[in-house]
Structure 1
Amino acid sequence: MNLRRLRSFVTVAEELHFTRAAAKLFVAQQSLSKQIAQLEADLGTPLLQRTSRKVELTPAGEVFLVAAREALARFDQGVTEARRIGQGQQATLRVGFIVGAALELTTHILSEFTNRHPGVRVELHEFDFSDPTAGLAGATTDVAFIRLPSTTHGLVTTSLFTEPCVVGVSAAHPLGTRDRVRVEDLLDEPIAIGRTDDTVWRHFWSLANHRGGQRAQNLIETHSQSEEVEVVAAGMACNITPAAARRYSPHPGVRFITIDDYPGSTVAVAHRSNQLNPLVTTFVDAAKAVRDRESRIIQTIQCAPEFG
């Protein structure tokens, strides 16, 4: 069993057509068929079901396709990293985040990782509300701090903590003198929400799951946290936001009020499920180590002050 046979199998499995796969690999179809047959002989089981009309993966082929892709991705990543280091280039890990990142755990996690890999350059990339995956969806980052709930298809997530949600209202708003509200108090209010195509994200921050199937009638889309805060301060809308906004986005014209009956938002470290960069694994391990060690910080985050 060798890499050439693995690449041949993956190409055939993706094309489900020997002629197209052979053209893509720049080999003769007879040679490609022979490679697949040798691979099946090595494994002792058929990987493809061939008829005169079509090619299909067998159940064993479906399982092996996952393993073959992972093996090839890991090998290709190793080649890239070895060449980079051999040419004197510094290894780089691209870390994405949206506003707040991992809050007070952020610097601890970055320090933990750099202590484990002092020769690796960490690039930080901030993303606005339009991309809740913080660059993972477009493969512009290797690992990221993200907020859940959001769409996580194709991602592996590791939760760090969950914090309460609050509602931001202008100082002049009728609710501005209260220290607690319920979701039902907010359903008729205009809501500022980050502009994104992520339906899961939009539903959570617009209270969609509490509207009995009815669409929110008055949503004001924003591009950034600072824009959202200014909209709220001007009395144009309220916003549902993590409790950390009290510390990270204070504004003299905004009051943040605890929502009694709404679930919290989880901060997680995430990466693509097919991302096999060993630096990503180390970063996730560093994040988990900090999470488990810094229980006092997490307790402070999860037990935010009631009014601000």
Structure 2
Amino acid sequence: MERPELPLPQLHAFVVLAEELHFGHAAARLGIAQPPLSQQIRRLEDKVGHALFSRRPGQVALTPAGRELLPAARRALADLASGLAAARAIGSGRAGRLRIGFAASLALTVLPGLLHTFRQRFPDVHLDIQEMTTAPQITALRDKTIDIGLVREPSPEADLGFKTVLREPFVAVLPAAHPLAAQRTVKLADLADLPFVLLPRAVGPQLYDQITGLCVGAGFTPRIAQHAVEWQTVCALVKTGLGVSLAPASIRRIRLEGVAFRTIAPDTARTRVAVAWRRNDENPLIGHLLATVSQEAPGGD
């Protein structure tokens, strides 16, 4: 028959007595009287089945069994202390793992500042950063494979919360050699007869509809010649002359040679960037990230 597990209070008493080798000193260190300490040691010896200390007048010493148990007892107490500290840190949100999805273009705007501030406040939190477009982020949030998403133009979702980080204007993306690139401002109607390069609707339905809606508002339906999943690829395809595009203004930071970015007129449309999370998620790190978002973008909703 297996012996019962050794209770931690008895192991603690054993380790202290092994270090002090004096019942009076060990009892004082433990904050108890000598009789309870003696009882703890006797109960532990009963469980082990052997004496752990030899007791002689004025002398206490570890037996061979006691010397064998001491390293394991110390490890058990250290593991418990480490586990308790880790549990407290994770429970309070001072440590743990936070999985964040982000749209690639946001690496050019809000993501660096947000992560820098968060890491300064919570250096012991491991951040798992995953690049993905908006629609896959929404799926990943529902599948619980990410904890936070940084998305563009999210549609309302009952089980998800959204907080606006910023609203940025659109720009026209043109080949640098195109005649329109010679202008500082481009009217949307000037793009009516040109082929377009856009992200597929499936990767960001709301943003896709917003861009095509802007074109419809200017009196034309965009003729889409090519799709590309990432904005950097969109710009590269524009450079080759496959078409033009409308994109969030942060795309300017790509600075791809041979591509021109021009303000559009009227310059009233804005694309919304938001942080997304599961409303019923109890991970305290999510709350800390949202507080950091409020600090970085106090005007968000």
Conserved 8 A contact 1:96-1:134: no
- Aligned residue for 1:231? 237
Using the TM superposition, give the Cα deviation of residue 227 of structure 1 relative to its aligned residue in structure 2, in angstroms.
1.6
Using the TM superposition, give the Cα deviation of residue 283 of structure 1 relative to its aligned residue in structure 2, in angstroms.
0.2
Q: 1:138–1:95: structure 2 CA closer, same or farther, 3 Å change rule?
A: same
- Aligned residue for 2:114? 109
- Aligned residue for 1:119? 124
Equivalent runs, 1:182-261 vs 2, <5 Å: 182-197=187-202, 198-207=204-213, 210=216, 216-247=222-253, 249-261=254-266
Q: 1:112–1:84: structure 2 CA closer, same or farther, 3 Å change rule?
A: closer
Residue by residue over 1:128-153, the C-alpha shift from the partner in whole angstroms, topping out at 9 and shown as x without a partner, is: 466364843543211121122x3242
Conserved 8 A contact 1:134-1:141: no
Say whether 1:273 aligns with 2:283.
Answer: no
Using the TM superposition, give the Cα deviation of residue 284 of structure 1 relative to its aligned residue in structure 2, in angstroms.
0.7
Residue by residue over 1:261-287, the C-alpha shift from the partner in whole angstroms, topping out at 9 and shown as x without a partner, is: 240222222212333322111101111
Using the TM superposition, give the Cα deviation of residue 219 of structure 1 relative to its aligned residue in structure 2, in angstroms.
4.3
Task: Please give the alpha-carbon distance, in whole angstroms, between the structure 1 residues aligned to 2:213 and 2:111.
Answer: 28
Conserved 8 A contact 1:208-1:216: no
Larger Rg: 2
- Aligned residue for 1:147? 152
Output the aligned Cα RMSD: 3.2
Using the TM superposition, give the Cα deviation of residue 160 of structure 1 relative to its aligned residue in structure 2, in angstroms.
1.9
Task: Specify the code of the residue in structure 1 equivalent to 2:180.
Answer: L
User: Secondary structure in 2 aligned to 1:169?
Assistant: strand
With normalisation by structure 2, the TM-score equals: 0.60
Q: 1:182–1:209: structure 2 CA closer, same or farther, 3 Å change rule?
A: closer
With normalisation by structure 1, the TM-score equals: 0.59
Using the TM superposition, give the Cα deviation of residue 159 of structure 1 relative to its aligned residue in structure 2, in angstroms.
1.3
| Identical pairs, percent | 26
Conserved 8 A contact 2:194-2:223: no
Using the TM superposition, give the Cα deviation of residue 212 of structure 1 relative to its aligned residue in structure 2, in angstroms.
8.3
Task: Please give the alpha-carbon distance, in whole angstroms, between the structure 2 residues aligned to 1:129 and 1:190.
Answer: 24
Q: 1:85–1:129: structure 2 CA closer, same or farther, 3 Å change rule?
A: closer
Conserved 8 A contact 1:172-1:235: no
Q: Which runs of 5+ in 2 are unaligned?
A: 1-85
Equivalent runs, 1:1-308 vs 2, <5 Å: 91-101=96-106, 103-128=108-133, 131=136, 133=138, 135-148=140-153, 150-153=154-157, 154-197=159-202, 198-207=204-213, 210=216, 216-247=222-253, 249-261=254-266, 262-292=268-298
Task: Specify the code of the residue in structure 1 equivalent to 2:256.
Answer: H
Task: Please give the alpha-carbon distance, in whole angstroms, between the structure 2 residues aligned to 1:169 and 1:272.
Answer: 38
Q: Which runs of 5+ in 1 are unaligned?
A: 1-80, 299-308
Conserved 8 A contact 2:228-2:234: yes
Using the TM superposition, give the Cα deviation of residue 84 of structure 1 relative to its aligned residue in structure 2, in angstroms.
11
User: Secondary structure in 2 aligned to 1:203?
Assistant: helix
Aligned residues: 209
Bigger proportion of residues as helix: 2
Task: Specify the code of the residue in structure 1 equivalent to 2:228.
Answer: T
Task: Please give the alpha-carbon distance, in whole angstroms, between the structure 2 residues aligned to 1:250 and 1:213.
Answer: 30
